[in-house]
A and B are shown apart, each in its own frame.
Chain A
Amino acid sequence: MSSSEGQSIILSPVGKVQREILDPILRAIPQAFGFCARTIALLDGVDFAFDRTRVQYHSTPILKKLAMAAPPQALKVIAVTEVDLFIPILTYVYGEAQLGGKACILSTHRLRDALSPPKNQNIYLERVVKEAIHELGHTFNLRHCQDPVCIMHYCHSIKDVDRKNDQFCRYCKVLLQDELNRLEAGLQSQSQLDHP
């Protein structure tokens, strides 16, 4: 996998998110995508997305705001929040992503299900990392994968999250590499335009 100079993936905590949750994500991003990752808080809060009836936060407007707030050198942005997210048609979501776009968001709210911390903190952190890479995968144009152990597999339940690996399957690796090649080609032609 390749990385392009100056391009990075931004990890943006929203609200109070513990450092011990952000660090494993920061470490996993370069391994998965080949780009360096850094933490920048891009949003002051997400109250604007709060739905009083559902007592949850609508993830789509957060994504839009996040994409707009992203600095130019940010290739992708992932927000991490502890609040419970939803999209109108579904009761809840672990996260949402702009397919092939810039932004995605992950909620840690339901990832503690069936765990009694701090005993199972490692399992919890594994879940967080898997779902963060999964959402970022969507921004690299990856769709859900039918392989139950691939990180891009869509998880119906927390058990499914625990069952899958923290790696892309061989198909998703090929599709990710295709997308990285396309990005690389796009960045190169942009750079030629900027510096003829």
Chain B
Amino acid sequence: MGTCKILIVDDELIMRESLAGWLERDGHEIDTAASGEEALRKLKDTRFDILLVDIKMEGISGLDVLKQVKENDPDVAVIMITAYGSISTAIEAMKSGAYDYLLKPFDPGELGVVIEKIMEHQAQTRENLFLKEQHRDATRFESMISQSQPMQKIFDLIGDVAPTNSTVLITGETGTGKGLAAKAIHSNSPRCEGPFVVVNCGAFPEHLLESELFGYQKGAFTDAKTTKKGRLELAHGGTLFLDEIGEISMRMQIDLLRVLEDRVFYRLGGTQPIEADFRVIAATNKDLEEAIRNRTFREDLFYRLNVICFTMPPLRLRKEDIPLLAELFLRRFAQETNKQIDQISREAMDELMLYEWPGNVRELENAIERAVVVGKGRKIMPEDLPIFRPALSEPPPAGTLKEVEKRHIAGTLERNDWNIRRSAQILGIDRSTLYGKIKRYTIRKQD
């Protein structure tokens, strides 16, 4: 089992402490809240995978916490805990979207089993999202176009690095095109005729990632009906792209380090050593050096990956690329939707240029796609980009880029009643990025 981020909400200190201590030994990251109010405050700043909520609390009850959480982010799993176990409360909690219901005190194994099931389910959801994104990325390669200075430097770097066999670590915000840069390195390398194998390390639960990477022999475990090659083996002669490397568990880090050192591994249940020749490119939007300090990432693996490192610039630092990219996306989506839209009006382009694009190129792509869908004429007009209009109708905001971005995110959240899923969709970023920005800018709900 991997680990996840859990918030314990209970008004009894002793319960919070004992549960926190217990779950920490399973390796989970734990935070606690002494009331429903504190829990809701913490949820504004941080995204949790699982909430353990006591039903009976003073003030905002556990059921109210559950309802608010489910309204804002239905993907968060909530387990209700109570000493007052009545069927009616349980039914009400389940109807309101609780994942499960436990009576305290419970048997030591009970909670672990529920958490394991939730993690499997959440990992499955992430994998599905990843597969959709990967399918979409197949058509996005052309969006590596640029006329900006920062991207020209990246192109030069890619040109220098591609012919070598060195391991590359690509960092950068979500949506900046780390995957595209990895693909570009591969395509310009002597390995370009070989496979480009992508592994999204954050999309699999630990045991699945293990079998995905290493493969397995027939009979290695109950469902292993046939022998299956892992992605390490499939990458032979080509490039292995380890996306979201910062999400990998400590166990897998140990295995991966060994493979990177020896270039030899075994399939699960296998006894024959397998040698594979592949180049490794890893990417992350996490600060790995901070992860090393927090002991969640191995220093030796970091140095093994960090042979050549570069950071993809955010779109706000290369705004001169916006017209180029916007035109490109416009042509593509107009063709896909069979619509006669071939221009972006000057006013609409002004809006695109003024916006800070926290979700980077991916957010711009989403915005143009939406504009093509809702556009009526041949030109994209500002009203086809409704999300930007309120900001422009107000007096031009003064301040730094960060302040403008903060205001825009806060405005979007307020206009959407802090519905995280909807706001993230409008901003064209994923929910975890939005949570990260809410936390970074300490954006709070207006009363």
Number of interchain pairs (Cβ within 8 Å): 70
Q: Are B251 and A171 in contact (CB under 8 A)?
A: yes
Q: Pick the residue among A90, A97, A174 that contacts B107 (CB under 8 A).
A: A90
Q: A146-B1, A156-B108, A157-B109 are in contact. Are A89 and B19 (CB under 8 A)?
A: yes
- Judged by a CB distance under 8 angstroms, whether A50 is at the interface is no
* Contact mask for chain A residues 87-105; partner B; CB cutoff 8 A; 1 contact, 0 none: 1111111001101000000
Least CB distance, A50 to chain B, in whole angstroms: 15
Q: Are B22 and A87 in contact (CB under 8 A)?
A: yes
CA–CA, A143 and B207, complex, Å:
16
- Judged by a CB distance under 8 angstroms, whether B250 is at the interface is yes
- Judged by a CB distance under 8 angstroms, whether B21 is at the interface is yes
Q: A146-B206, A171-B251, A175-B250 are in contact. Are A89 and B104 (CB under 8 A)?
A: yes
Most buried by B among A89, A156, A157: A89
CA–CA, A138 and B25, complex, Å:
7
Within 8 A of B (CB), among A67-98: 86-93, 96-97
What residues on B are CB-neighbors of A91 within 8 Å? 105-108
- Judged by a CB distance under 8 angstroms, whether B334 is at the interface is no
Q: Are A143 and B27 in contact (CB under 8 A)?
A: yes
Interface size on B, residues (CB 8 A): 29
What residues on A are CB-neighbors of B208 within 8 Å? none
Closest to A182 in B: B295
Q: Pick the residue among B19, B26, B81, B105 that contacts A154 (CB under 8 A).
A: B26
- Judged by a CB distance under 8 angstroms, whether A60 is at the interface is yes
Q: Are B27 and A89 in contact (CB under 8 A)?
A: no
Most buried by B among A60, A144, A157: A144
What residues on B are CB-neighbors of A93 within 8 Å? 108
Q: A60-B18, A99-B25, A138-B25 are in contact. Are A171 and B105 (CB under 8 A)?
A: no
Q: A157-B109, A175-B250 are in contact. Are A89 and B25 (CB under 8 A)?
A: no
- Judged by a CB distance under 8 angstroms, whether B14 is at the interface is yes
Least CB distance, A161 to chain B, in whole angstroms: 12
- Judged by a CB distance under 8 angstroms, whether B275 is at the interface is no
* Contact mask for chain A residues 8-21; partner B; CB cutoff 8 A; 1 contact, 0 none: 00000000000000
CA–CA, A171 and B257, complex, Å:
12
Closest to B113 in A: A156
What residues on A are CB-neighbors of B26 within 8 Å? 143-144, 154
* Contact mask for chain B residues 9-39; partner A; CB cutoff 8 A; 1 contact, 0 none: 0001011011101101111000000000000
CA–CA, A188 and B4, complex, Å:
35
What residues on B are CB-neighbors of A89 within 8 Å? 15, 18-19, 22, 81, 104-106
CA–CA, A143 and B104, complex, Å:
24
- Judged by a CB distance under 8 angstroms, whether B85 is at the interface is no
Q: Are B25 and A156 in contact (CB under 8 A)?
A: no
Q: A60-B18, A144-B27 are in contact. Are A88 and B109 (CB under 8 A)?
A: no
Q: Are B206 and A96 in contact (CB under 8 A)?
A: no
- Judged by a CB distance under 8 angstroms, whether B397 is at the interface is no
Least CB distance, B259 to chain A, in whole angstroms: 14
Q: A89-B105, A90-B107, A171-B250 are in contact. Are A144 and B21 (CB under 8 A)?
A: no
CA–CA, A64 and B1, complex, Å:
30
Q: A89-B15, A143-B26 are in contact. Are A156 and B109 (CB under 8 A)?
A: yes
Closest to A160 in B: B109
Q: Are B109 and A87 in contact (CB under 8 A)?
A: no
Q: Are B206 and A144 in contact (CB under 8 A)?
A: no
Q: Are A96 and B250 in contact (CB under 8 A)?
A: no
Q: Are A87 and B21 in contact (CB under 8 A)?
A: yes
CA–CA, A154 and B3, complex, Å:
14
Least CB distance, B366 to chain A, in whole angstroms: 38
Closest to B116 in A: A146
Q: Are B105 and A90 in contact (CB under 8 A)?
A: yes
CA–CA, A170 and B19, complex, Å:
29
What residues on B are CB-neighbors of A174 within 8 Å? 254
* Contact mask for chain A residues 134-170; partner B; CB cutoff 8 A; 1 contact, 0 none: 0000100001101000000010110000000000001
Most buried by B among A86, A90, A91, A99: A90
Closest to B12 in A: A88
Q: A91-B107, A99-B24, A156-B112 are in contact. Are A146 and B207 (CB under 8 A)?
A: yes
Closest to A173 in B: B254
Q: Are B106 and A90 in contact (CB under 8 A)?
A: yes
What residues on B are CB-neighbors of A171 within 8 Å? 250-251, 254-255
What residues on A are CB-neighbors of B81 within 8 Å? 89
What residues on A are CB-neighbors of B254 within 8 Å? 170-171, 174-175
CA–CA, A93 and B109, complex, Å:
10
Closest to B18 in A: A87
CA–CA, A51 and B104, complex, Å:
16
What residues on B are CB-neighbors of A170 within 8 Å? 254
Q: List 16 A-B contacts (CB under 8 A).
A: A60-B18, A86-B105, A87-B18, A88-B12, A88-B15, A90-B108, A91-B108, A93-B108, A97-B25, A143-B25, A144-B25, A146-B206, A146-B251, A154-B108, A156-B109, A171-B254
What residues make up the interface of B, taking CB atoms closer than 8 Å to A?
1, 3, 12, 14-15, 17-19, 21-22, 24-27, 81, 104-109, 112-113, 206-207, 250-251, 254-255
Can you name 19 extra interface pairs (CB under 8 A) apart from A89-B19, A146-B251?
Answer: A87-B22, A89-B22, A90-B106, A90-B107, A91-B107, A92-B107, A97-B25, A99-B24, A99-B25, A143-B27, A144-B26, A146-B1, A154-B26, A154-B108, A156-B109, A156-B112, A170-B254, A171-B254, A175-B254
Q: Which 9 A-B pairs have the closest CB atoms?
A: A156-B109, A143-B27, A87-B18, A89-B19, A171-B251, A89-B18, A88-B18, A144-B26, A88-B14
